[in-house]
Chains A and B, each alone.
Chain A
Amino acid sequence: EVRLLESGGGLVQPGGSLRLSCAVSGFTFNNYAMSWVRQDPGKGLEWVSDISGSGDTTYYADSVKGRFTISRDNSKNTLYLQMNSLRAEDTAVYYCAKGACTSTGCYNWFDPWGQGTLVTVSS
């Protein structure tokens, strides 16, 4: 069974930093791209960042570019999101999600998702 478990969320002051982790099991981690997606409480979904299976290619939403860094340790089956210079508008539940591969290639729909970890940026 594929499992994704996020950790590292919490309350942080504006301008502060936080590192999220996502421990995975049940699949060959380095074969799949991984993503972070966030959800403002009670609101919609926003894609944050992607990383390739090897870790050498990354993408970011403009809203976090230059402040957040996605990385992975394939030896530990763990995905990370380093969040710096946090703002109130970064307050959200952060989900990690696995990319998909079929017989025709690999694609960027998200399946499955972790249970999420809440990040609250407030003074």
Chain B
Amino acid sequence: DIQMTQSPSTLSASVGDRVTVTCRASQSITTWLAWYQQKPGKAPNLLIYKASSLESGVPSRFSGSGSGTDFTLTINTLQPDDFATYYCQQYSSYPWTFGQGTKVEIK
């Protein structure tokens, strides 16, 4: 199985900050990576697919980059609505696997 490791597990930031979340795969997944945002009590919501493609309707302050084993999710100018938990997911090979999550909290 491909292991997905996110860092950090928790990130404290302020409104207006630029934040970066990292996701590392245990083997190359080329660009077969998605990012999701999840708020408490809600289902995950797709932000990014194919490592860097922004899902329709997602604000442009979200961006993704990377290929192979190392990926990043960047949120430019953090907004109050962005405080949530973020997950990466590989869809390169079965079983599909997720990172353990990164909680972005208010500093």
Main secondary structure of the interface of B (DSSP, over half): loop
Number of A-B contacts (CB under 8 A): 54
- A44 neighbours in B (Cβ, 8 Å): 87, 98-101
- B46 neighbours in A (Cβ, 8 Å): 109-112
Question: Is the pair B89, A110 in contact by a Cβ cutoff of 8 Å?
Answer: yes
The interface size of chain B toward A, counting residues with CB under 8 Å, comes to: 22
Question: Is the pair A108, B49 in contact by a Cβ cutoff of 8 Å?
Answer: no
Q: Point out the residue from B42, B43, B45, B96 that lies within 8 Å of A108, measured CB to CB.
A: B96
Q: Point out the residue from A46, A50, A100, A110 that lies within 8 Å of B44, measured CB to CB.
A: A110
- B7 at the binding interface (Cβ < 8 Å): no
- A82 neighbours in B (Cβ, 8 Å): none
Interface string of A93-117 (1 = CB under 8 A from B): 0010000100000011111111110
A residues contacting B by CB (< 8 A) are 35, 44-47, 50, 59, 61-62, 95, 100, 107-116
B residues contacting A by CB (< 8 A) are 32, 34, 36, 42-46, 49-50, 55, 87, 89, 91, 94-101
* CB-defined A-B contacts under 8 Å, sample of 5: A47-B98, A59-B94, A112-B43, A112-B46, A115-B42
